[in-house]
Structure 1
Amino acid sequence: ILVCCLDTLCFAHQLIPLFIFIGGGVTMSFTYLCRLALKNPDVSWDRKNNPEPWNKLEYNQQYKLFTVNMDYSKLKKDRPDF
């Protein structure tokens, strides 16, 4: 299949940017999906040892990918200890 695609690209050079951008988009989507599965506190992979991972977050821990005008190191504790 790969040889067939490479033969097609040799004749149709206008398809090369299409394959590059679609491949980059698929790669970025897969990377973000893996980040959500591994870093998001809403996902629990081990329910016996960590049934509620969202309760183990520190008040100054950043779990969002991108935040605007927010410095997590300067936040004050605003919730009780359990």
Structure 2
Amino acid sequence: MIRVMMHQAKKHPGLIPQFFFIVLGLGGASLYLVRLARGPHVSWDKRNNPEPWNNLSPTYQYKFLAVETDYKNLKKEGPDF
């Protein structure tokens, strides 16, 4: 694939920035996925710790998403029947 890209870049030099940003994007996405896979709550060892969520203390701060909506001010999008 690299050989094809180099051949195309020699024929069409305007493609060089596009190839650069494609490689940069793929590299950044790969590094981001590796960073996610090495997070503190990811367990790759399924034999010794099959349920890591059981080891959390009662004071552990869970991340929740709380969305407050005032239902009185919502507009209806349909007709009144």
Q: Smaller-chain TM-score range?
A: 0.5 to 0.7
Q: Which amino acid aligns with 1:2?
A: I
Corresponding residue for residue 17 of structure 1: 17
The 3-state SS of whatever aligns with 1:39 is: coil
Q: List alignment gaps of at least 5 residues for structure 2.
A: 61-81
The 3-state SS of whatever aligns with 1:47 is: coil
Q: Which amino acid aligns with 2:51?
A: E
Q: Percent identity, aligned pairs only?
A: 40
Q: Aligned runs of 1:61-72 on 2, under 5 Å?
A: none
Sort the Cα spacing of 1:57 and 1:31 in 2 relative to 1 into closer, same or farther, 3 A: farther
Q: Which amino acid aligns with 1:31?
A: L
Report which of the two structures shows the higher radius of gyration computed on alpha carbons: 2
Corresponding residue for residue 49 of structure 1: 48
Q: 1:54: Cα distance to partner?
A: 4.5
Is residue 29 of structure 1 aligned with residue 29 of structure 2?
Answer: yes
Structure with the larger RCO, 1 or 2 (CA within 8 Å, 6+ apart): 1
Q: List alignment gaps of at least 5 residues for structure 1.
A: 59-77
How many pairs were matched up?
60
